[in-house]
């Protein structure tokens, strides 16, 4: 059940309720600001390595390397805009193009890191005038072999770090303020080869790295280099995957940018050489975004999404204030991170919210009808958040003795917006879906397999959810979900929702949705009752249902083991046999537990009762409630809520009503 104030709880139980509704819109995608990039520049510079940064004054700094000559140039655009001049570059020398470059800025300082001709000297050029000019190159380290990648970061007081790779090992030097650089030190992680590095400041130094791991898997990863904030200075966190590809697929990755733009983000290139199919080679720019609420070092990355630009060199990424930039030598893209909310509550003529269902899926749907007589929501006038993908906070409530109060926590994402005008009336009709709907829309771009014994059910489930941008919590998860390590394959093209349903069929657990978070929990017969209908909360109508169960007997065949569960009453009522085959089960207790949980899940999926009442603003699918109705023979009978429907209509006839579908506890 959602959190609710005692005043609202009392008001909604009263014989007469005055409804109150708050609807908020945000231009966010699963909690993270949406970046709507617009291309500002189409130049004629040759494609090659590029870096970008934003100092405190809001200027845009770019640096590039001509891959044919190694010529290094930089640029400062004082007031970036679509009409600004991006043609003026300042040449500053010649460097190794293959190692690429790093550029960081903060306050009035900027730092440019490159590799000198010869391929082993790591050098930096510094600016103290917000990137207008850079000093002569200074060598901070000399590698023992050819440097394959370099990146850097700087803070307003001069504190800085430089990372580079040679021989598959990443090294770093740091300084505090404008003091001396430390001696070069190798990281404590392991990759077989490093193709690219990118870096930004996120309290500690946030590093993205691409290359190949010790098992020959190509990939991109993120890692934190401590600076005393989240980790000790010089300490490396665990590598976390952003994208990976198996050996022999012809796919490689190159990281080209890193920034915190409303959340951690990484720019990278996915390249396919055509060997697996003999044709179709490509270099595709991808953008990876961290799941909402996660930090750089936790590495909870959504599936990278393609960006409409093809280049083997990729794009630079930078952010400052509310502005985010992508950069190539011949192009600049800009997005404004304006996620400001719009309030719609007073304009809602009708609303219907639905959550849950007899199939157990934590689906959520919302339909809104907004008055638009004065054109306030017309195309070109309404907020960008009022468009597909926009985030909706639906907060039903009531007027209490101490004022208006609502129950927060229902967050959905717009799937369609329809504008109509007829008979002198104009409306906007909005449809939205919850996190489960987003999981159903997401498709795996490639197959992923977990071998038996490799990961627990909870770990696999979390990995499936995060690729679609959803957080998975495991509060109250079953012992099976926490201990079972099944073989499991996410098929290419399969939705995350389908894969999760297949996976969780192996456990007694259910999923509950709340905003961008899914909670994995095991429903128990003794779960606490959240509301008493017919006593504390008045009923409008109610009904009971008797129906034949689909399953009265379950048999589970494992690897040389057999388990079964029988519901005598279910069989007597006509319930049939269900057979489950799962060769990852090798103990009798596992098979017996699987049979029992399958029988319970089947029983929980049957509608046993329903009720209609004034809305309980905090009621959720999965809650346990009691129902008392003498005419129906119910005296504090316990049920689990299968589905919730809330209806609000202001015209032509006022209506504020809730319908609950109820099943076995």
In terms of pLDDT, which residue wins out, 605 or 470?
470
CATH number at residue 251: 2.120.10.30
**What's residue 399's pLDDT?**
94
* Within-domain flag for 524: no
pLDDT band for position 180 (50/70/90)?
A: very high
Residue 339 has pLDDT above 80, yes or no: no
Residue 14 has pLDDT above 70, yes or no: yes
Residue 631 has pLDDT above 70, yes or no: yes
For β-strands 517-521 and 471-473, DSSP reports them as parallel
**What token pair was written down for 120?**
């082993």
Mean pLDDT of the chain: 94
**What token pair was written down for 324?**
């985010």
Residue 338 has pLDDT above 90, yes or no: no
Could you list the residue range(s) of the whole structural domain that residue 403 is in?
Answer: 6-30+340-437
**What's residue 239's pLDDT?**
95
Torsion of CA 305, 260, 182, 176, to 10 degrees: 180
Q: How far is CA 208 from CA 47, 240, 299, in A?
A: 22, 9, 10
Report the candidate in 296, 307, 221 with the shortest Cα–Cα distance to residue 259: 296
- The pTM assigned to this predicted structure is 0.89
* Within-domain flag for 589: no
pLDDT band for position 342 (50/70/90)?
A: confident
**Domain co-membership, 400 together with 314:** no
* Within-domain flag for 262: yes
- DSSP code at position 631: G
**What's residue 475's pLDDT?**
85
| Residue 112 contacts residue 95 (beta carbons within 8 Å) | no
Q: How far is CA 588 from CA 88, 166, 484, 553, 561, in A?
A: 74, 53, 14, 17, 6
* Within-domain flag for 172: yes
**Domain co-membership, 251 together with 391:** no
Q: Which residues contact 661 (CB under 8 A, 6 or more apart)?
A: 356, 357, 358, 607, 610, 641, 642, 643
| Residue 323 contacts residue 336 (beta carbons within 8 Å) | yes
**Domain co-membership, 294 together with 196:** yes
* Within-domain flag for 590: no
CATH number at residue 389: 2.40.10.10
Q: Is 143 exposed, middle or buried (0-12, 13-18, 19+ CB in 10 A)?
A: buried
**Domain co-membership, 82 together with 224:** yes
pLDDT band for position 276 (50/70/90)?
A: low
Between CA 580 and CA 554 the distance in angstroms is 8
Residue where a domain stops, chosen among 291, 319, 336: 336
**Domain co-membership, 141 together with 280:** yes
**Domain co-membership, 72 together with 202:** yes
Lowest-confidence segment of 225-239, 355-369, 479-493, 552-566 by average pLDDT: 355-369
**What's residue 297's pLDDT?**
82
**What token pair was written down for 64?**
């590039």
* Within-domain flag for 525: no
Angle at 194 between CA 191 and CA 195, to 5 degrees: 150
| Residue 358 contacts residue 602 (beta carbons within 8 Å) | no
The pLDDT tens digits for 587-610 are 898 899 889 888 888 888 889 999
**What's residue 9's pLDDT?**
94
**Domain co-membership, 16 together with 45:** no
Q: Which residues of 40-49 are buried (b: 16+ CB within 10 A; e: fewer)?
A: bbeeebebbb
Average pLDDT on 648-653 reads 83
Residue where a domain stops, chosen among 336, 360, 389: 336
Q: Which residues of 351-360 are buried (b: 16+ CB within 10 A; e: fewer)?
A: bebbbbbeeb
- Residue 470's Cβ-side half-sphere holds a number of Cα atoms within 13 Å equal to 32
Average pLDDT on 628-651 reads 95
pLDDT band for position 436 (50/70/90)?
A: very high
Backbone φ, ψ for residue 254 (5° rounding):
-140, 120
**Domain co-membership, 394 together with 480:** no
**DSSP letters spanning 342-359:** EE-GGGEEEEEEEEE-TT
Before 297, cis peptide (omega within 30)? no
Note the helical H segments in 296-405. Answer: none
**What's residue 478's pLDDT?**
92
SS3 at position 191? coil
* Within-domain flag for 520: no
The pLDDT tens digits for 378-391 are 998 888 889 999 99
The sign one gets for the Cα dihedral 337, 338, 340, 346 is: negative
**Domain co-membership, 556 together with 643:** yes
- Provide the domain count of the chain: 4
Q: Which residues contact 98 (CB under 8 A, 6 or more apart)?
A: 148
Torsion of CA 36, 42, 43, 44, to 10 degrees: 120
Residue where a domain stops, chosen among 336, 370, 399: 336
pLDDT band for position 408 (50/70/90)?
A: very high
Residue 131 has pLDDT above 70, yes or no: yes
Between CA 522 and CA 481 the distance in angstroms is 9
**Domain co-membership, 478 together with 551:** no
Average pLDDT on 196-210 reads 97
SS3 at position 570? helix
Torsion of CA 84, 87, 92, 94, to 10 degrees: 140
pLDDT band for position 357 (50/70/90)?
A: confident
Average pLDDT on 598-627 reads 93
**Domain co-membership, 347 together with 299:** no
Backbone φ, ψ for residue 341 (5° rounding):
-85, 155
Residue 279 has pLDDT above 80, yes or no: no
User: Which residues share a beta bridge with 151?
Assistant: 163
**What's residue 548's pLDDT?**
84
Average pLDDT on 510-526 reads 92
pLDDT band for position 194 (50/70/90)?
A: very high
Between CA 367 and CA 23 the distance in angstroms is 12
* Within-domain flag for 314: yes
**Domain co-membership, 46 together with 74:** yes
CATH number at residue 630: 2.40.30
């Amino acid at each position: 059940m959602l959190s609710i104030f005692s005043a609202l709880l009392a008001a909604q139980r009263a014989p007469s309720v005055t409804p109150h509704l708050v609807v908020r819109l945000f231009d966010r995608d699963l909690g993270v600001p949406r970046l709507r990039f617009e291309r500002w520049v189409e130049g004629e510079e040759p494609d090659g390595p590029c870096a970008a940064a934003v100092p405190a004054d809001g200027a845009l700094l770019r640096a590039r390397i001509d891959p044919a000559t190694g010529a290094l140039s930089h640029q400062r655009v004082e007031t970036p805009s679509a009409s600004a001049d991006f043609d003026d570059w300042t040449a500053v020398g010649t460097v190794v193009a293959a190692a690429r470059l790093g550029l960081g800025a903060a306050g009035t300082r900027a730092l440019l890191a490159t590799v000198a001709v010869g391929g082993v000297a790591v050098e930096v050029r510094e600016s103290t005038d917000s990137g207008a000019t850079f000093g002569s190159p200074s060598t901070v380290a000399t590698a023992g072999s050819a440097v394959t990648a370099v990146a850097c970061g700087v803070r307003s007081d001069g504190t800085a770090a430089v990372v580079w790779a040679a021989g598959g090992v990443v090294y770093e030097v740091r300084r505090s303020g404008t003091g001396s650089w430390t001696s070069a030190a190798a990281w404590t992680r392991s990759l077989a080869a490093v193709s690219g590095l990118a870096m930004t400041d996120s309290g500690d130094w946030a590093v993205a790295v691409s290359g190949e791991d010790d098992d020959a898997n190509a990939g991109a990863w993120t890692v934190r280099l401590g600076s005393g904030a989240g980790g000790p200075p010089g300490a490396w966190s665990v590598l976390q995957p952003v994208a990976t590809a198996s050996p022999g697929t012809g796919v490689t990755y190159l990281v080209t940018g890193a920034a915190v733009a409303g959340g951690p983000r990484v720019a990278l290139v996915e390249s396919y050489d055509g060997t697996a199919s003999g044709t179709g080679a490509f270099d595709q720019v991808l953008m990876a975004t961290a799941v909402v609420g996660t930090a750089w070092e936790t590495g909870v990355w959504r599936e990278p999404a393609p960006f409409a630009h093809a280049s083997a060199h990729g794009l630079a990424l930078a952010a400052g204030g509310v502005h985010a930039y992508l950069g190539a030598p011949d192009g600049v893209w800009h997005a404004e991170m304006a996620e400001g909310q719009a309030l719609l509550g007073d304009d809602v003529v009708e609303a219907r919210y639905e959550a849950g269902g007899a199939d157990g899926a934590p689906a959520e749907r919302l339909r809104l009808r907004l008055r638009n007589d004065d054109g306030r929501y017309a195309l070109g006038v309404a907020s960008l958040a009022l468009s597909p993908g926009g985030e909706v906070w639906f907060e039903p409530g009531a007027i209490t003795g101490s004022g208006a109060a609502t129950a927060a926590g229902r967050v959905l994402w717009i799937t369609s917006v329809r504008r109509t005008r007829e008979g002198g009336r104009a409306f906007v009709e909005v449809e939205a879906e919850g996190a489960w709907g987003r999981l159903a829309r997401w498709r795996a771009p490639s197959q992923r397999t977990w071998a038996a014994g490799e990961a627990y059910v909870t770990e696999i489930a979390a990995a499936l959810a995060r690729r679609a941008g959803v957080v998975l919590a495991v509060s109250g998860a079953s012992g099976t979900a926490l201990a079972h390590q099944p073989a499991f394959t996410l098929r290419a093209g399969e939705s995350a929702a389908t894969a999760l349903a297949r996976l969780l069929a192996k456990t007694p657990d259910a999923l509950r949705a709340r905003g961008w978070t899914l909670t994995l929990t095991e429903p128990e017969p003794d779960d606490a009752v959240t509301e008493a209908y017919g006593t504390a909360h008045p009923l409008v109508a109610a009904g009971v249902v008797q129906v034949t169960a689909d399953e009265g007997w379950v048999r589970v065949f494992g690897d040389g083991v057999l388990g079964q569960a029988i519901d005598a009453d279910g069989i007597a009522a006509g319930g049939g046999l269900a057979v489950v085959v799962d060769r990852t089960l090798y103990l009798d207790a596992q098979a017996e537990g699987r049979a029992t949980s399958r029988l319970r899940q089947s029983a929980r999926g049957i509608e046993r009762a329903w009720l209609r009442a004034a809305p309980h603003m905090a009621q959720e699918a999965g809650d346990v409630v009691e129902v008392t109705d003498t005419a129906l023979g119910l005296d504090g009978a316990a049920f689990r809520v299968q589905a919730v429907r809330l209806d609000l209509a202001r015209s032509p006839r006022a209506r504020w009503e809730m319908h609950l579908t109820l099943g076995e506890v």
